[in-house]
A and B are shown apart, each in its own frame.
Chain A
């Protein structure tokens, strides 16, 4: 990175480094129809056939190189696609591009030619809301089966319509399975949905040439549980908080809850007491350790191919984290611990004993990491398998909207905890781990080292909590019993989840339930890069690449 020429300052940035929306408006004056203000950023409204031009200009001239999320929604009078843009260098610079389309003909230009990540986001928008994207390379359903009738998040969707489409009226998968032309020298193989290496119900439609992968098309949605719709039918104050635990369900519960807490607190303008922020930070980092341990363990499982030492060690250590979390929250996985404006309850009594336990664990982490490095990163056979396989160059990672350890393993220095601080992170000391290897090995290394950093953060939190005066231990601020944010307030906020940037978009309509609740899942975006990582590689390397992405299907499918 340091070898690059210093880039000229982007358009729309003041010399002080602030984002200047007027300058951006000037840049796009020929396109922008209207300006809106959302809670987190300003939004420009543009015509549906200018999408490509506007996003390309913003990416090229203004440095908005991160298409964080695409939200689609339907109003009484129109459809709307919102492109949430950010910068990898400066994620606090945010801009939303709003593209309204007519109700009777919801066609909008696709952004897939500017940002690769738009491909899947727009497929999802088409699938669930029903907006069609012109010029999209491959506009198919993505979460729902291709036989599905209607678009479930559209307003006139009929819930009672029977959905069972018999095979004879659709297509016989048994026939299509062998539909490979004779002269072709390739083999089509279904990896999954039930397969030892797909970490859940993921289906990879793979074309092999011998042992090499020619093409891979992930088919997901087997675990789609209508999370967005369920959140839209629940009230802000109490009913939504348990759902985030079920997105990345394997251990990252509190990190997910924080994504919702941060968004809803921004929406309703709630304060969180500092003491509660520290507890949130500590518990979230415990979750990150648990999640990374499982990621490293299962990655090793994919490479080793058996329930080997490293996997069992990782699981054993993860149990220790789960014990700490259970003491704190009463639960091992589905914590439901955060509340809007704070946390559910204070640290367990006796506090000293709990501090002692957590400290013990933090001291134990570095010595265990030594063991993991001995077993994994110092193992020559392991290196032979993972170095220079599953290569994901930084530019491609950015274009696919990769975040979290996947982006950092490609040398993209992007961590919302540092770059867009929330909670108590800006008061704490920690390093953002990056690795320029861009391969499967770097992603595993980044996760291992992040465990060390998380332990560092937890230790600092414990120090703070221990000295916190007894009469100032405020765990929740005063939050009204019913939250009814003003109609048409829109907000998109993200936190650094275990797998990357976990963002939530909420539009309020004046009631106590959100009118639109959209989840930006990091695993969903990261998974999209599998195709680039595995083409031309051997099957085992594709499996390794999939393992190194550390996807959780609960989060991909939502």
Chain B
């Protein structure tokens, strides 16, 4: 197994010591962060527009740069130069912290995701034994951010949005994690690198093409459940209830403007990518893929998940909050447990043979 990114950096520096390790860790994190923010910048102002436009028979941005990609620059200037309006009566520390919590929790999750290799560099920050548990734990911190934003904004729409976020995350995180556990039973480990390694064998060979033993192929049912629960977890259509424009204006983020808005917006996109990264890692073989370098394959996979979210956004209506909770508690949770018991049973039978 190749070296983790911070280790590689500190080795390259060639000096030992805790300070160097710390420095290497910060540099490594900065590299991963930069990759993600670049992707989020691409997704937010540009890709989202172009994808939605394609689904709705429009052209969208096309004047500035090739395919209008230059819009990212004026968009960034526009967003950052807006006035930061602090409404009267907001609960100050909580209101200021919420965007940070939302953005940071999504970024932190990537600490343990093996993003694959590009040349000699392995884009993987840390590989703790509890990797998967860590990702789920970190990702759900975002809901605390949503509640903080909703509660501290002193706005009834925000408040409703915050409450909806809690109800939704409770209903969907449990099935999400239970489906995740079924993967752990397959892989026999919570460690991300182990989960990826477990998917690297060839399932069947069809002539020269080997079908890999990705868990999405081994257990498509679990993959589907995870995709659905993930849509709710990241709060996108048809489960974008905490925001629900046309109902509660913009939900928890109604009162945020300028940089705070950018942070929340960014956090949402990174969160979509984190959802995609988890799906890629535990169901789609992580960075595995032919010909192209691992990092490229990994990015392709998370962008595929992003594309799926945008597709659903254009095609599906939003469900109502009570219907959402029904689907979560009465549908997904039951199916998730069913999947867990079946997986455990089958794996147990195979191992005893």
Let me know if A304 and B249 touch, CB within 8 A: no
In this complex, the member of A312, A385, A540 whose beta carbon has the largest number of chain B beta carbons within 10 angstroms is A540
A312-B244 in contact given A187-B156, A303-B318, A306-B237 (Cβ < 8 Å): no
Report, as a range, how many residues of chain B touch the other chain: 20 to 34
Let me know if B318 and A540 touch, CB within 8 A: yes
Q: Smallest CB–CB gap between B222 and chain A, Å?
A: 23
Q: Chain B residue with minimal CB distance to A376? A: B317
Let me know if B322 and A211 touch, CB within 8 A: yes
Let me know if A305 and B315 touch, CB within 8 A: no
Q: Which residue of the partner chain, among B57, B249, B317, B322, contacts A381 with CB atoms under 8 Å?
A: B317
Let me know if B319 and A384 touch, CB within 8 A: yes
Let me know if A306 and B156 touch, CB within 8 A: no
Q: Smallest CB–CB gap between B324 and chain A, Å?
A: 10
B321 at the interface (CB under 8 A from A): yes
Let me know if B237 and A304 touch, CB within 8 A: yes
Q: Smallest CB–CB gap between A414 and chain B, Å?
A: 30
A197-B246 in contact given A309-B314, A312-B56 (Cβ < 8 Å): yes
Let me know if A313 and B56 touch, CB within 8 A: yes
Cα A303 to Cα B317 with chains together (Å): 6
Q: Smallest CB–CB gap between A518 and chain B, Å?
A: 34
B200 at the interface (CB under 8 A from A): no
Let me know if B249 and A306 touch, CB within 8 A: no
CB-CB contacts below 8 Å: A345-390 with B: 375, 379, 381-382, 384-385
Cα A302 to Cα B157 with chains together (Å): 17
Cα A5 to Cα B258 with chains together (Å): 66
Chain B 303-327 interface mask (CB, 8 Å, partner A; 1/0): 0000000000111111111110000
A511 at the interface (CB under 8 A from B): no
Let me know if B58 and A305 touch, CB within 8 A: no
Chain A 284-327 interface mask (CB, 8 Å, partner B; 1/0): 00000000000000001111111111011100100000000000
Residues of B within 8 A of A211 (CB): 160, 321-322
Q: Which residue of the partner chain, among B55, B245, B247, B314, contacts A539 with CB atoms under 8 Å?
A: B247
CB-CB contacts below 8 Å: B203-250 with A: 237-238, 240, 244-249
Let me know if A304 and B247 touch, CB within 8 A: no
Q: Which residue of the partner chain, among A196, A304, A307, contacts B317 with CB atoms under 8 Å?
A: A304
B52 at the interface (CB under 8 A from A): yes
Interface of B (DSSP majority class)? loop
Let me know if B246 and A305 touch, CB within 8 A: yes
Q: Chain A residue with minimal CB distance to B167? A: A211
Q: Which residue of the partner chain, among A187, A308, A538, A541, contacts B56 with CB atoms under 8 Å?
A: A308
Q: Chain B residue with minimal CB distance to A547? A: B246
Cα A197 to Cα B244 with chains together (Å): 11
In this complex, the member of B52, B314, B321, B323 whose beta carbon has the largest number of chain A beta carbons within 10 angstroms is B314
Chain A 113-135 interface mask (CB, 8 Å, partner B; 1/0): 00000000000000000000000
CB-CB contacts below 8 Å: B268-290 with A: none
Cα A384 to Cα B319 with chains together (Å): 8
Let me know if B56 and A197 touch, CB within 8 A: no
CB-CB contacts below 8 Å: B296-353 with A: 313-323
Residues of B within 8 A of A306 (CB): 237, 245, 313-314
A384-B323 in contact given A197-B246, A305-B237, A306-B245 (Cβ < 8 Å): yes
Q: Smallest CB–CB gap between A170 and chain B, Å?
A: 22
Q: Smallest CB–CB gap between A441 and chain B, Å?
A: 12
In this complex, the member of B249, B319, B320 whose beta carbon has the largest number of chain A beta carbons within 10 angstroms is B320
Cα A434 to Cα B55 with chains together (Å): 32
Cα A385 to Cα B319 with chains together (Å): 7
Let me know if B314 and A540 touch, CB within 8 A: no
Q: Which residue of the partner chain, among B55, B57, B249, B321, contacts A540 with CB atoms under 8 Å?
A: B321
Q: Which residue of the partner chain, among A189, A305, A385, A540, contacts B156 with CB atoms under 8 Å?
A: A189
Let me know if A196 and B57 touch, CB within 8 A: no
Q: Smallest CB–CB gap between A197 and chain B, Å?
A: 4
Residues of B within 8 A of A189 (CB): 156-157
Q: Chain A residue with minimal CB distance to B157? A: A189
A312-B58 in contact given A187-B156, A197-B247 (Cβ < 8 Å): yes
Residues of A within 8 A of B249 (CB): 195-196
Cα A313 to Cα B248 with chains together (Å): 25
Q: Chain A residue with minimal CB distance to B313? A: A306
Cα A313 to Cα B56 with chains together (Å): 7
Residues of A within 8 A of B314 (CB): 306, 308-309
Let me know if B245 and A196 touch, CB within 8 A: yes
Q: Smallest CB–CB gap between B247 and chain A, Å?
A: 5
Residues of A within 8 A of B58 (CB): 312
Residues of B within 8 A of A196 (CB): 245-246, 249
Residues of B within 8 A of A543 (CB): 246-247
Let me know if B246 and A301 touch, CB within 8 A: yes
Q: Which residue of the partner chain, among B237, B245, B247, B317, contacts A379 with CB atoms under 8 Å?
A: B317
Residues of A within 8 A of B160 (CB): 211, 539
Cα A189 to Cα B163 with chains together (Å): 15
Q: Chain B residue with minimal CB distance to A541? A: B320
A539-B248 in contact given A305-B318, A385-B317 (Cβ < 8 Å): yes
Residues of B within 8 A of A385 (CB): 317-320, 323
Q: Smallest CB–CB gap between A32 and chain B, Å?
A: 51
Cα A308 to Cα B314 with chains together (Å): 5
Residues of A within 8 A of B246 (CB): 196-197, 301-302, 305, 543
Q: Smallest CB–CB gap between B67 and chain A, Å?
A: 20
Let me know if B57 and A312 touch, CB within 8 A: yes
Residues of A within 8 A of B237 (CB): 304-306
Chain B 43-87 interface mask (CB, 8 Å, partner A; 1/0): 000000000100111100000000000000000000000000000
Q: Smallest CB–CB gap between B230 and chain A, Å?
A: 17
Cα A301 to Cα B237 with chains together (Å): 13
Residues of B within 8 A of A311 (CB): 56
Let me know if A307 and B247 touch, CB within 8 A: no
Residues of A within 8 A of B323 (CB): 384-385
Q: Which residue of the partner chain, among A305, A309, A375, A384, contacts B240 with CB atoms under 8 Å?
A: A305
Q: Smallest CB–CB gap between A78 and chain B, Å?
A: 48
Cα A375 to Cα B317 with chains together (Å): 10
Cα A375 to Cα B52 with chains together (Å): 16
Chain A 21-45 interface mask (CB, 8 Å, partner B; 1/0): 0000000000000000000000000
Q: Which residue of the partner chain, among B56, B238, B320, B321, contacts A309 with CB atoms under 8 Å?
A: B56
Cα A443 to Cα B160 with chains together (Å): 29
Residues of A within 8 A of B247 (CB): 197, 305, 539-540, 543
Q: Chain A residue with minimal CB distance to B321? A: A211
Residues of A within 8 A of B317 (CB): 300, 303-305, 379, 381-382, 385
Chain A 148-184 interface mask (CB, 8 Å, partner B; 1/0): 0000000000000000000000000000000000000
Let me know if B56 and A307 touch, CB within 8 A: yes
Cα A38 to Cα B318 with chains together (Å): 52
Chain A 200-215 interface mask (CB, 8 Å, partner B; 1/0): 0000000000010000
Cα A300 to Cα B238 with chains together (Å): 13
Cα A382 to Cα B237 with chains together (Å): 13
In this complex, the member of A311, A382, A538 whose beta carbon has the largest number of chain B beta carbons within 10 angstroms is A538
Let me know if B56 and A381 touch, CB within 8 A: no
Residues of A within 8 A of B52 (CB): 307
Q: Chain A residue with minimal CB distance to B164? A: A211
Cα A543 to Cα B245 with chains together (Å): 11
Residues of B within 8 A of A316 (CB): 57
Q: Smallest CB–CB gap between A198 and chain B, Å?
A: 9
Cα A379 to Cα B313 with chains together (Å): 14
A309-B318 in contact given A187-B156, A316-B57 (Cβ < 8 Å): no
Cα A313 to Cα B319 with chains together (Å): 22
Cα A382 to Cα B319 with chains together (Å): 8
Let me know if A381 and B245 touch, CB within 8 A: no
Q: Can you report 5 residue pairs joining A to B where beta carbons are below 8 Å apart?
A: A301-B246, A303-B318, A305-B245, A309-B315, A313-B57
Known: A309-B57, A384-B319. 9 other contacts (CB 8 A): A211-B322, A304-B237, A305-B237, A307-B52, A375-B315, A379-B316, A381-B317, A539-B247, A543-B247
A-B pairs, 3 with minimum CB distance: A312-B56, A197-B246, A303-B317
